Amino acid sequence: MPNNRPARPRACPLCGAPRAEEYKPFCSRGCRDRDLLNWFGEDYRVPADQPPDGTADTDNFTDE
Ligand SMILES: [Zn+2]
């Protein structure tokens, strides 16, 4: 792609504040951590609802 970049200052994707070089692309450690938590929250949702491998259902055999 050719020069498609707008020449505006980069901003933190979370809050829009100017990003800090140290925490880029975020403005601060707070935003960086928040983004990280969002990722974990969505992708690594622990399957705590599900019973451990099949032990719950195996007792449910019925003879019909
Ligand atoms: Zn921010």
Would the CA dihedral through 33, 38, 44, 48 be positive or negative? positive
- State in Å: Cα 42 to ligand 1 middle: 20
Give pLDDT, residue 40.
Answer: 80
Omega before 6 within 30 of 0, i.e. cis: no
Q: pLDDT tens-digit profile of 18-64?
A: 999 999 999 999 999 999 898 888 665 556 666 666 655 656 666 76
- State in Å: Cα 31 to ligand 1 middle: 5
- State in Å: Cα 49 to ligand 1 middle: 33
If one compares 28 and 4, the residue with the highest pLDDT of the two is 28
pTM attached to this predicted model: 0.49
- State in Å: Cα 53 to ligand 1 middle: 41
